[in-house]
């Protein structure tokens, strides 16, 4: 039996089915118990906060994004592959040239549409 990570902290990423988006995607942990068990998670795409349901996660990652290109203009929901951080999904466009990307561990802010 494989040992899964059991202690989490706010800001960690977990995969869970989002009923609003109707797809499984990375969620951000928004609250944990004293022993590090997740109680609530937030979907970065639709901002819905839901109760974490242990056991519904999977490591399956079907989507593979094209290599990250800072000169490219991204849209929310696009996937990319960063040379350092790996697979990511654009969760929000912050400014015309800044975006939040959800990577395997957490959200990072990247630039885009940079000429
Ligand atoms: Zn959602």
The H or E element spanning position 95 is strand 86-95
Q: What value, to the nearest 5°, has the Cα angle with vertex 36 and ends 30 and 105?
A: 60
Number of other residues whose CB lies within 10 A of the CB of residue 94? 12
Q: What are phi and psi of 55, to 5 degrees?
A: 95, -5
Per-residue pLDDT reduced to its tens digit, 55-93: 655 554 456 789 999 999 999 999 999 999 999 999 999
**How many other C-beta atoms are found inside a 10 Å radius of the C-beta of residue 45?**
20
CA 52 – ligand 1 centroid, Å: 13
Q: How far is the centre of ligand 1, averaged over its atoms, from the C-alpha of 115 (Å)?
A: 31
* Confidence at residue 44, expressed as pLDDT on a 0 to 100 scale: 93
Predicted TM-score (pTM) of the model is 0.66
**105: CA distance to ligand 1 center in Å?**
18
CA of 25 to the centre of ligand 1 (A): 8
């Amino acid at each position: 039996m494989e040992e899964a990570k059991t202690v989490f902290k706010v800001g960690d990423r977990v995969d869970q089915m989002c009923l609003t988006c109707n797809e499984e995607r990375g969620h951000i942990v928004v609250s944990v118990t004293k022993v590090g068990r997740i109680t609530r998670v937030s979907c970065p795409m639709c901002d819905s906060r839901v109760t974490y349901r242990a056991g519904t996660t999977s490591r399956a990652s079907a989507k593979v994004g094209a290599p990250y290109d800072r000169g490219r203009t991204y849209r929310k929901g696009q996937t990319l592959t960063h040379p350092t951080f790996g697979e990511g999904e654009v969760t929000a466009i912050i400014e015309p040239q800044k975006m939040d990307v959800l990577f395997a561990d957490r959200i990072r802010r990247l630039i885009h549409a940079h000429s």
